[in-house]
Structure 1
Amino acid sequence: MFGHERSITQIKYNREGDLLFSVAKDTVTNVWYSVNGERLGTYNGHTGAVWCVDCDWDTKNVLTGSADNSCRLWDCETGKQLALLNTNSAVRTCGFDFSGNIIMFSTDKQMGYQCFLNFFDLRDPQQIGDNQPYLTVPCSDHKITSAVWGPLGEFVIAGHENGEINQFSAKSGEILKKAKEHTKQINDIQTSVDLTMFISASKDNTAKLFDSTSLDHIKTFKTERPVNSAAISPIMDHVREAPHSGDCVSYTLMWDIPLPFSLLSSVIC
């Protein structure tokens, strides 16, 4: 699939798995048929690198966050921009809760501004029109580098640049639980299909499996290089290896775990 002129920053499937969304440092958001790699269209409007993308449960809306200091809501089918939420710094992570009614996004700690985790209710047009979230959570110590929704949309699981993982309440913003199993920045967090578990990928050369509700550490997967991304797949027998690129090798690894899932991770040097 050729649709980006610069490196890809994130890819995301819709719930059915028939569509794949990709974003990159070239400002473009693409949507593809996952079966044959045909590009269906683009979402154009960002003027900076696009760091994150998500799709709601019924593939109606798409959410993107960018280094142009904005988070944008799109109509998935037509590509029309539905909402523009301006921020003071780059938007690093974004996502819909399971209902598709609540969105969250985090902003970077830069240009004198601290990191914030913002929550908007899409059912309230005034919040969107006035660009006023119903909840803003400051993260003054260490910025959020990856975040996903937990079960039932009750909290957000956030990974930080210092390797810490926190649960933030979607109602009050308070930290419900903490875990500090990683020693370096968390690059990615992705959940299992039923949201009961999540896998974290870190610069400390490990990927770690956690219980989503308790944050109990279940298992560690070690590599020789920093782990850029990791995902829990419902497919048991699946291995993919990327080709060599100069002196640097980027590849994927597969581990079997004693659960109805298998683990796929991406390793970069």
Structure 2
Amino acid sequence: MKRVQNPQVCHGHSRPIVELAYSPVTPDGYFLTSASKDGLPMLRNGANGDWIGTFQGHKGAVWSCVLNSTAMLAATASADFSAKLWDAISGNELHTLQHSHIVRACQFAEQSPKLITGGYEKKLRLYDLNKMDAEPFVIEGVPDKVRCMAWHKDDNLLLTSYIDNPGIGVWDMREQKIVRTMDTGKEVTSIEIINEGQHITTADGNEARFWDGNSLEQRKSFSKDWKVESVSYCPERSRFVVGGEDMYAHLYDYETGNELECNRGHHGPVHTIRFAPGGASYASGSEDGTIRIWETDFATKENGDAANGL
């Protein structure tokens, strides 16, 4: 019999949540950011979901909100034709990065002080965080409107997906060109790269896909009866979670594909879902404007062992 959870419910947003992102573990713990169509991206304690602050300044929906590797900086991408760089400690806006169209995605590089943005312009803008007053390096030739992005291979590769078009473009950032395509059936709505690039997860149509981070070849694919919008994988626990149009947060065993939990509570499609560092919990963000933080089956066992002195 599958257990029924009472998740931590995080209120505060007034419109749909479209992206969640955890920071790595820092000396102060780890953090969770949320991007929402209400234009007010938020920062929370990643372990318990407690609200820390709101980044105020955008005048349109915010499609992406991410932290750098130290969680000292935040970046946001918005429908107001801008991206912004923030001091994640004070919440102060550091720079407004003007674009000529909607910005859908932003990502900090892991190994270098760089920030990249993409969206409806059909181009990529690369910013040097040490020279923010300089003009960005603009990469042309993007085949369509950018939906998702993720850095890979020591920041030498960039994975991009496109609005209304299938597949993932793999950019060699040293040559500023697409060097291959990872084929999918439909538009990719989620890209996640984990374990220092060893694993890649994506969502498209009804498919939750898992790729080898070195060869970029598909390892596994699990089909669902509903539209999958987001997938997250925890290799340490051999678990993955899926969110989508059916409004539930699903937990699966990676080896077998068997469903372990189907968590109910959201009142709209789950647009984004992500494991916390270590995999003891995961967060889901929905059309209903709430974030819900769920424990995994491993966390429940560990908590029980601790309570029993084991």
- Counterparts of 1:95 and 1:4, CA distance in 2: 22
- SS at structure 2 position matched to 1:82: strand
Residue 28 of structure 1 is matched in structure 2 by 40
State how 1:139-154 maps to structure 2 within 5 Å.
139-140=142-143, 142-154=144-156
Shift in Å, 1:201: 0.4
Shift in Å, 1:265: 11
Runs (5+) with no aligned partner, structure 1: 109-113
**More deviation in 225-234 or 64-73?**
225-234
Larger radius of gyration: 2
- SS at structure 1 position matched to 2:154: helix
8 Å CA contact retained: 1:185, 1:202: yes
Residue 209 of structure 2 is matched in structure 1 by 208
- Pairing 1:116–2:126 present: no
- Pairing 1:76–2:88 present: yes
Residue 253 of structure 1 is matched in structure 2 by 251
Change (3 A) 1:75 1:25: same
How many residues are paired up?
250
- Pairing 1:41–2:42 present: no
- Counterparts of 1:95 and 1:54, CA distance in 2: 7
Residue 111 of structure 1 is matched in structure 2 by none
1:6-46 Cα distance to aligned partner (Å, 9 max, x none): 01011111101621111100010111112222111111001
Change (3 A) 1:33 1:75: same
Percentage of matched positions with identical amino acids: 24
8 Å CA contact retained: 2:17, 2:285: no
Question: What is the TM-score of this pair, normalised by structure 2?
Answer: 0.73
Higher relative contact order (CA 8 A, sep 6+): 2
Shift in Å, 1:215: 1.8
**Counterpart code for 1:174:** K
Residue 135 of structure 1 is matched in structure 2 by 138
- Counterparts of 1:143 and 1:241, CA distance in 2: 25
8 Å CA contact retained: 2:79, 2:102: yes
- SS at structure 2 position matched to 1:138: coil
Residue 175 of structure 1 is matched in structure 2 by 178
Question: What is the TM-score of this pair, normalised by structure 1?
Answer: 0.84
Residue 192 of structure 1 is matched in structure 2 by 194
Report the RMSD for the aligned CA atoms in angstroms.
2.7
- SS at structure 2 position matched to 1:152: coil
Change (3 A) 1:23 1:186: same
